[in-house]
Structure 1
Amino acid sequence: MTRLHVLHRLHGRPGACLALAASTVLLAACGSDDEPKPVLEIKTLSNRADLVSDGDVLVQLILPAGATTAGLKADINGSDITSAFATRADGRITGLVSGMKVGANVLTVSGDDVSTTALTITNHDRGGPVYSGSQPTPFVCATPTPQGATASLPATNASGLTTTASDGKCNIATEYKLYYKTTAAGCSFALPDPSPAVAFTATTPPTTATPPANPCFKPYTVGGSTPADLATTTTDAGQTLPYIVRVERGTMNRGIYDIAVLFDPAKPWSAVAPQAQWNGKVQYNFGASTGQPRRQARPATAWTDDRALSRGYMVVNNSMTDSLQNSNRVMMSETVMMMKEHISDQYGAIRFTVGNGCSGGSINSNMNASINPGLLDGITVSCTFPDSETVTMEVADCVALVEAYQKPQWLALMTGQTPAQVNARKAAINGHMDQSACHGWYNFFGSNSKAGVYFQRTVPAANNDSGVIVQSPTATNNCQLPAALVYDPVTNPGGARCNAWSWAESIWGKATGSPAARDTRDNTGVQYGLKALQSGAISGEEFVTLNEIVGGADRDTNPTAARSVADAEALNIAYRAGIVMSGANLAKTAVIDMRGYDDSLINVPPGFAGIPAASLQGVALFGIHQQWRSFSIRDRLDRDGGGHGNQAIWRFGRSGFSPSATMATEAFTTMDSWLTALKADSSSASLEQKIRNTRPAAAGDYCLLSSDAAQSTKVTNAASCDADPYLAPRSSPRQVAGGPRSEDILKCQLKPVDANDYGGKLGAAQLARLNAVFPGGVCDWSKPGVGQQAAAGPLSFEAGPGGQPFPPAPVSRAKQ
């Protein structure tokens, strides 16, 4: 490609009057030969100039009208990099600026026809952070092979890389491997180099995993004979080629990542000249669950996505965007930004990015859209939750209720009742199909907020009818660290705190006078079972007693008789930063939400009959991915996003919470059509309106009824879908207490106890007791939540907790 010193002259007459937008450069006036030369624009393409990471960034030089490339020179911090720039096939002058130091770097460009122009580029370490603030410590780097614990260090996870970390940020040298897709029938899409299972205790190393016996992807050797079973594929651009994939594995923001894409080993690839089989589209896979271990790990999601790879998509993941490995949603969004910049710098321009994930993966998809709109153009999600802060409300409510149902005061009221009658009361209070859904929350995430060492408490499957709790004899902690390194209020108050708020202390800040981070948990004023009382499902005495005994939790997540009280500043941060999912921001993203049934551990839809309850709990069903969650998101869109024209809900009532391969493929191709049309829309309409305007007919709402054994008949009548017992949206404990289905009021405003609210079902003595429970008043759900406000993000936490809006993006200016 022709370098700058021999580039052709651009169209236009030198010396002609120039006109460029003031937002791009400062212009010199036209006039005599003695006047200053016009100024070109230096524009970073892969990220804002102040958010760059890993030492490189793709840059475009935009000449003013009439100027030529004669004598054009570029340097970074005084080092000549002119050879990095050239006029490319698309007519643009671009180049990869690399080798930058951490901190401020000055890129300077001059030429015969233009004034000397400079742009300050702020580069951040590959290991992060960029804008999420200080990283929590201790944090244990992965090793080439898993290692057992020592007296002071936990077991390490296997990195899938051959070298060890080079620094405290767990940066490990990047490696590349080639694989080919086999033509073998019945092959496994499991990873051909599987990561050993993550060790969930601090002392036991993960077990060694073995590759599948018949992997769909096998190692490919350059220069060797062509494998007899090498498959071919035809991309969505119609290009047919050998199905060979290159996998880049490295580290970014302390996470381990994989980038997989179709690759021709005989040809070069650069950001300014990508290989043609990549269609410029990225599928970003987010991992499920939620956690905050202090150990580096491989991604939980696999790169072996035939649906995407075969069509020419790039498949991307990073363990710091797996919800199980990182529950700091700002850091997670930052990691996506860093990964996208890396792709742009090394592979080329991205046409659009689709987020994909279930459960915690859906949280991360929605959180990207809310915290930093624009990172994802569309999302295809299943078993969907809006965000972790408001989901934590239901977890905390269920924990408090499950414990309350085993307290003597409640059990005394249940004397003489049949188990069915007792459980009907619990279901009415919980808002769920039955009592077991709260058991699901209690078992899987009820201890996730524990700050220190604890003994896991669960309701075993065999106890779903009685709700009797059992406690594990083995101590554990959520940091996956040795107990000696973990917080203890007496013996180690300065130890690592292992809940989500302390993991994200750079976002929340510390609570005054406490080692704990500020947090958003609050149930002050919440009248559990209010609608159950009003409907007659529970008695006045049961209602009052329940609210007397339910209590709350302290900062260490120990149960307390008093209600939980949120930190006011944490509430402000949660809303302002978009950590509570913003309907206004989500409206900027195309959404296909595939909602399966997971509303109970004991009431199972067709297809699950005969499966033991122990297998259902945690394998086939969790009881926590409730139907109403999709409509909670819709309510936020309707209230704050101008409607839900950007969201399609596809419900299915037969196969649990995971969509079939048929539905998943339909979602993939429909989203591809949607975003292709969106990117082609050059109108002046807002992004939100463009998304609604380009929504394809295939992206309408529908359901597959549980009675449909073939799961093939699409029903578009919402009332018919809602009438299906396995598709009906139910509610939550907070909604039964009077809260909105949007479920985004973390802390309610209060009003005095009003006897009229109880329909004459409470006597004077009971009202007096209720006033004693709620001396400050009860929730007034007609008002916004305390601290509830519009999202103002993206916010930077580089200067400390609380966050500040990003300043205007840096622009190039004439050098004085």
Structure 2
Amino acid sequence: MHKRTALTRGVLLAMASMLAACGGGSGGDDDGNGGTNPSPVAELKVLSNRADLVSGGDALIEVVAPAGTDPATLKIDVNGADVTNAFELRPDGRYYGLVTGLTEGRNLLRAASPTGKGAELEITNHPIGGPVISGAQITPWTCDTTVTAPTANNPDLGDPLDAQCNIAAPVYRYQYRTLTGGFAPYDVANPPAADAIAKTTTDQGHTVPYIVRIERGVINRGKYDLAYLADPSDPTAAWQPWNVPASWNQKLFWKFGSGCDYRRVQGNPGNVMDYVALSRGFMVASSEMTQYGTHCNDVTSAETVIMMKEHIIEKYGPIRYTMADGSSGGAHQQHLHASNYPGLLQGILPAAGWQDTWTAGREFADCGLLKRYHDSQAGTSLDMTNMQRALVAGHRWNQVCEGPANTNMASRVPFYIDPAVGCGDPDDQWSRSNPTGSRCTLQDFNIAVFGPRDATGYAKSPLDNVGIQYGFNALNSGAISAEQFVAMNEQVGGYDIDGQWQPSRMQADPGAAEIAHGSGRIPYGQNLGNVAIIADVEFNITEEHYDFRTWVIRNRILAVHDDYDNHVIWRHKSRVPDFAARRFDAMNDWLMRTEADATDRPLREKLIANKPDIATDSCYRSDSEQWSTDPAYCNTGATPNMDSTVVAGLFEPGVDEWPVFRDTRVASGESLASDIMKCQLKPLNRGDYQANFTNSQWSRLSAVFPGGVCDYSKPGVGQVAPDPWQTFSDGPGGKPLGPAPTSHAAA
């Protein structure tokens, strides 16, 4: 009992320190010895979330009694209703309980002592169907909770109770690990023999039957799954947050999903049957709303994680720390959440490492424009070779932009910016004959962030290519001629708000670039430098998930912190044995070491000081089946080279070559941070070019750029360090939540 109590107390303190931004932190002073200094009056603390972000009508709350006062003598009420019976002195020595029945909106929690020294705390409760911080929800929205042919992995949740798709109660299903190394359904009514069930030993040293209990419910209009090792004493039972079984190590692993889609109908969560995480004792979580392939809105994704973590804490117990993984669209979300909601995630494992959604979106548009231009020049004197096209875009070869591979960017441009394409084809989808229908673009799916551009109700777009000199680096290296450069920039054009090509450059809607930066849609290095990152970088130089995107994040961290010591890159060209376990265990070890650091140094210093030896930039040599940590060989520095053998006019890296190519904006002169949505301009200057222009060419170039060209010595338009923890509840643009509410003295 003593060991269990000590662990629980440590867990609560870890939650208060590491997750103060998203759970707890409502007052209290650490006494330096693992306790809290009692105040002269009672103190009220929401442990499961910020007091102003509570959802679902309940909250886990601690009451700290005044010095010398027995907490059991306190009278506690919410909005005048007595809730004293919800509180008890728990095994960890703290007085807390789950308060239910909160009304939507403002609630007043009060604690009164016999001496009259009381306290009160305002709690703001939001609907379990949302929103909390994301602003107005996307409509129409179709519920899909009823499953006519349920399966072991797709249970029926029953008919929805309302338009938010809420259900009567979560449902549970069970899996167990077989002795042959697979998962199989666990029949509650007819369970397998105990000796047919594998066992696992958690990272806390507890050996338990490998039985997994999976909860499926609906939060924030999306289906979610929670998987965890069942209580060994009763595999079909839940538990209380102050009585956690040894099977759960009180750590969370979030599975973010790939893609970028704008569906307006419920889908299923991602797969939570993660063998590595579950076997170590982690709880594994996923939601449809954090699957970019069904819901490409990073604010709603973050909101869902906030709401789900509150649910977990209130139902299962405090969370020590949260790790996450996810590739492609899952990488977008990890970077965005780590940057914008510090404390939500402590360690991230991005793969196919997109830096974010919007700066990548610029390149999709660029590639569509470049492909159109190149196609128009086929067979003319201005037609470029594949190598020239590759260098104009910054890539290994032209097909990264142009195709025909289905993961080239040009072919997918309409999906992101044409309102008549995608989003599940709702009955009222926008078309020119139905201009009031649902618009299926990235910005329209995020209209709560960007707001409408005008009376049409179409969302503002931050896409902009005014001043962009396509092929700038290729020109200065001598790869293309002055005439090729001038003609391309004359004719490349842009896209209008309906995703249709236009001869003029595209301009961000007024205020849209400012919102993109100020609201945090472009991840910033400050908070990215305060989370542990181990990036899975599969050597990819042939399609849209190419390697360079990971170096964009590295350079954003470097720009703020002057180092990137919290950012680890693991490169590989072939399958690595036990790679998932290696990366997971390295991150878990890193966070455990940081959690145990009792010094008063800042979090970033703790992360760097406690980084395990294995967490270092590396590349896997398939020839020797060994990891190399030589940064020169692995090409892992902040400014990696593009050195590669050239065969038949194309880059063809050899086995010992690890080039890192660039994106279209860096190839046009932007820094490796690649983080500007709309550039500031400067006058054309012949001294910026290594090429000689004729007077006619210079005159034509001046006509292309009447306002000037991008000045990359200056920040972008509206490019500022975003405030963390923003809400869009009061409308587009976002505003900081500010400090979490705390309790104060009351008569």
Same fold per superposition (TM over 0.5): yes
Measure how far apart 1:675 and its partner are.
0.5
Q: 2:250 aligns with which of 271, 277, 280?
A: 280
Measure how far apart 1:410 and its partner are.
5.5
Measure how far apart 1:91 and its partner are.
0.5
Contact in 2 for aligned 1:523/1:552 (Cα 8 Å):
yes
> Corresponding residue for 1:635?
555
SS at match of 1:449: helix
Task: Give the 5 Å matches for 1:142-181.
Answer: 142-145=144-147, 160-181=155-176
Taking the aligned partners of 2:92 and 2:194, their CA distance within structure 1 comes to 37
The residue identity in structure 1 corresponding to 2:535 is D
Q: 1:534 aligns with which of 454, 468, 476?
A: 476
Measure how far apart 1:254 and its partner are.
1.1
Contact in 2 for aligned 1:586/1:641 (Cα 8 Å):
no
Q: 2:397 aligns with which of 427, 434, 439?
A: 434
Measure how far apart 1:649 and its partner are.
0.6
Measure how far apart 1:113 and its partner are.
4.2
Q: 1:564 aligns with which of 506, 511, 516?
A: 506
Q: 2:318 aligns with which of 344, 349, 355?
A: 349
Task: Give the 5 Å matches for 1:109-508.
Answer: 109-113=111-115, 115-145=117-147, 160-185=155-180, 187=182, 216-221=183-188, 224=191, 226=193, 229-264=196-231, 265=234, 269-299=239-269, 301-407=270-376, 409=377, 411-414=379-382, 422-438=385-401, 439=403, 440-442=407-409, 445-453=412-420, 477-482=421-426, 484-489=427-432, 491-508=433-450
The residue identity in structure 1 corresponding to 2:114 is D
The residue identity in structure 1 corresponding to 2:381 is L
Measure how far apart 1:646 and its partner are.
0.7
Measure how far apart 1:386 and its partner are.
1.4
Q: For residues 224 and 432 of structure 1, do their structure 2 counterparts lie closer, same or farther at Cα, with a shift above 3 Å needed?
A: closer
Measure how far apart 1:85 and its partner are.
0.6
Measure how far apart 1:393 and its partner are.
1.3
> Corresponding residue for 1:69?
71
Deviations 1:91-118 (A, max 9, x none): 1001011121211122222232452322
> Corresponding residue for 1:805?
736
Contact in 1 for aligned 2:391/2:474 (Cα 8 Å):
yes
Measure how far apart 1:512 and its partner are.
2.7
The residue identity in structure 1 corresponding to 2:726 is L
Aligned CA RMSD, in angstroms, stands at 2.3
Taking the aligned partners of 1:139 and 1:539, their CA distance within structure 2 comes to 52
SS at match of 2:551: helix
Q: 1:730 aligns with which of 661, 666, 672?
A: 661
Taking the aligned partners of 1:25 and 1:624, their CA distance within structure 2 comes to 48
SS at match of 1:315: strand
Measure how far apart 1:317 and its partner are.
0.3
SS at match of 2:627: coil
Contact in 1 for aligned 2:255/2:324 (Cα 8 Å):
yes
SS at match of 1:447: helix
Query: Unpaired runs of 5+ in structure 1?
Result: 2-21, 27-36, 148-157, 188-215, 416-420, 454-476, 601-622
SS at match of 2:684: coil
The residue identity in structure 1 corresponding to 2:631 is N
Taking the aligned partners of 2:563 and 2:362, their CA distance within structure 1 comes to 25
> Corresponding residue for 2:21?
none
Measure how far apart 1:797 and its partner are.
0.9
The residue identity in structure 2 corresponding to 1:135 is Q
Contact in 1 for aligned 2:476/2:691 (Cα 8 Å):
no
SS at match of 2:336: helix
Q: 1:624 aligns with which of 516, 520, 544?
A: 544
The residue identity in structure 2 corresponding to 1:412 is T
> Corresponding residue for 1:200?
none
Percent of counterpart pairs with the same letter?
Answer: 38
SS at match of 2:364: helix
SS at match of 2:555: helix
Q: For residues 789 and 268 of structure 1, do their structure 2 counterparts lie closer, same or farther at Cα, with a shift above 3 Å needed?
A: closer
Taking the aligned partners of 1:666 and 1:112, their CA distance within structure 2 comes to 56
Measure how far apart 1:566 and its partner are.
0.8
Taking the aligned partners of 1:92 and 1:661, their CA distance within structure 2 comes to 45
Deviations 1:471-530 (A, max 9, x none): xxxxxx322133x401123x2221111111111111111113443111210000111111
Measure how far apart 1:712 and its partner are.
2.4
Measure how far apart 1:404 and its partner are.
1.1
The residue identity in structure 2 corresponding to 1:346 is K
Moved more, 86-95 or 506-515: 506-515
The residue identity in structure 2 corresponding to 1:746 is M
Rg larger in 1 or in 2?
A: 1
Measure how far apart 1:411 and its partner are.
4.1
Q: Does 1:718 align with 2:718?
A: no
SS at match of 2:172: strand
The residue identity in structure 2 corresponding to 1:284 is W
Q: 1:782 aligns with which of 713, 735, 738?
A: 713
Taking the aligned partners of 1:697 and 1:321, their CA distance within structure 2 comes to 32
Taking the aligned partners of 1:713 and 1:317, their CA distance within structure 2 comes to 32
- TM-score, with length taken from structure 1: 0.81
The residue identity in structure 1 corresponding to 2:429 is V
Q: For residues 537 and 443 of structure 1, do their structure 2 counterparts lie closer, same or farther at Cα, with a shift above 3 Å needed?
A: closer
Q: 1:589 aligns with which of 522, 531, 535?
A: 531
Taking the aligned partners of 2:274 and 2:624, their CA distance within structure 1 comes to 25
Measure how far apart 1:228 and its partner are.
5.3
Deviations 1:230-286 (A, max 9, x none): 111111111111111110101111111000001122665111211221001100010
Q: Does 1:548 align with 2:490?
A: yes
Measure how far apart 1:74 and its partner are.
1.8
The residue identity in structure 2 corresponding to 1:277 is S
Taking the aligned partners of 2:612 and 2:277, their CA distance within structure 1 comes to 20
Taking the aligned partners of 2:87 and 2:193, their CA distance within structure 1 comes to 37
> Corresponding residue for 2:687?
756
Taking the aligned partners of 1:372 and 1:329, their CA distance within structure 2 comes to 11
Taking the aligned partners of 2:354 and 2:743, their CA distance within structure 1 comes to 42
Q: Does 1:520 align with 2:462?
A: yes
Contact in 2 for aligned 1:236/1:311 (Cα 8 Å):
yes
Contact in 1 for aligned 2:496/2:506 (Cα 8 Å):
yes
